[in-house]
Chains A and B, each alone.
Chain A
Amino acid sequence: MEGGTIGDLQQLTRRRLGGDLSCATRDWSLEAELIDVSYDDDTPGISEDKRFYYGTLGYQATERLLLYGSYWVTTGHGVEQIVAQQVSSVQQRVEVPTMGVSYQLRESIMLKAQYAPVNIDLEVPSMGLAETIEFRHLSTAISVVF
């Protein structure tokens, strides 16, 4: 919406709808979720709605070693003040395929590694602006219970 003001999300009715599905056998596991967020915003051309979904497939290679692959996506609309006195609708999509391993070293110590190439697309349709951000993320971790 051009020439308007940024709507306060806290003033809008927000609804979330989610679905989850999971299954676990001795060697394989599957998890998937969907979250849909919608706002009661009657402003034409403006939306703050968002969506997230992911799916993970895991394989228990040994009693202690788990391998997994996962895919995450968030899509969302929002408003930003790109230039003074004017707000614009912004669309964003974040896409992350990822894979990793976890190894249970002891009952209370877990070692983990994870790799993810990240892709972020941002677009302001009313201003013809678009940007893509890409990077690769590698992490290792130790998780401890005490």
Chain B
Amino acid sequence: MLAVWLTSPAVSPARGQSESELHIFGFFQNAFMHQTGYTTKPPFQPESTRNSFSVQQQHNFFFRKDLHPNWWAFVNYEFLNSFNSARRWGSANLEEVWVRYRANARFNIKFGLSIPVFNNLNEIKNRTPLLPYIVRPLVYETSFSEFIAVEEFLPARAFLQTYGFVTVGATKLDYALFLGNGPNINSDPNHGQTGVDTTDSFFVGGRIGIRIGEWKAGLSATCSS
């Protein structure tokens, strides 16, 4: 039940209803971290130990509204690393803002900011209650973004994404295609509007996969120029 709730906000309005009420839900992960035995070779500094409590990554708020049996809107807002703007700790990120049209299992399309389907973990990397890890596999650990260029490894934002699967006997064939901005995003308010692509380039990508019984495999690719 938990997995269904978190991976696909699937509580649909009863047939005949055009809109449902606004659903607000989310999760958080509070952690205690102890680091010991920090050494460098050659020894630039003495061995050190440290502890810290933190609201480690997430605190995610989700807002969902079913606009129509085939349409729903979704917003995902994320706070990282004990976010506190006064102390300049952590960050607040708008992770997802999309409206989805679902024709059937074979065809779905999201318009707006979404997390691209890439490999197995990218879509669900911030669904911490679903994952056994506290610290996720390195490039999926968004709380490390302050010192690991996680966005070099993973596509973070798509603005148009279509996906679905086709059933062939006992096999399911998955596909996903997405489109987003090139990497030249303006981050300097002194040079105009921030958060927009300053070029005419795009980023494209996708995943094809196969599911047979208990096995799942896929190939993903992106290209941005």
Measured CB to CB, the residues of A under 8 A from B are: 9-11, 13-25, 31, 33, 35, 37, 40, 50, 52, 54, 56, 58, 66, 68, 70, 72, 74, 94, 96, 98, 100-102, 107-108, 110, 112-114, 116, 131-146
Q: Determine whether the beta carbon of A143 is less than 8 Å from that of B35.
A: no
Residue among B25, B139, B217 with max Cβ neighbours from chain A (10 Å): B139
Q: Please classify the interface of chain A as helix (H, G, I), strand (E, B), loop, or mixed, using the class held by over half of its residues.
A: strand
A68 and B132 alpha carbons, distance in the complex (Å): 8
State whether A145 touches B31 (Cβ < 8 A): no
- Choose the segment among B76-84, B100-108, B148-156, B164-172 that binds chain A (4+ C-beta atoms closer than 8 Å): B148-156
Tell me whether B132 and A66 are in contact (CB under 8 A): yes
Cβ of B135 and Cβ of A114 under 8 Å apart?
Answer: yes
- Inter-chain CB contacts under 8 Å: number: 183
Q: Which of B32, B44, B128 contacts A131 (CB 8 A)?
A: B44
Contact A24 B183 (CB under 8 A): no
Q: What is the CB-to-nearest-CB distance from A125 to chain B, in angstroms, rounded to a whole number?
A: 17
A114 touches B138 (CB 8 A): no
B114 at the interface (CB under 8 A from A): no
Extra 5 A-B pairs, beta carbons < 8 Å, given A16-B118, A108-B129 = A11-B184, A17-B219, A66-B132, A133-B41, A141-B56
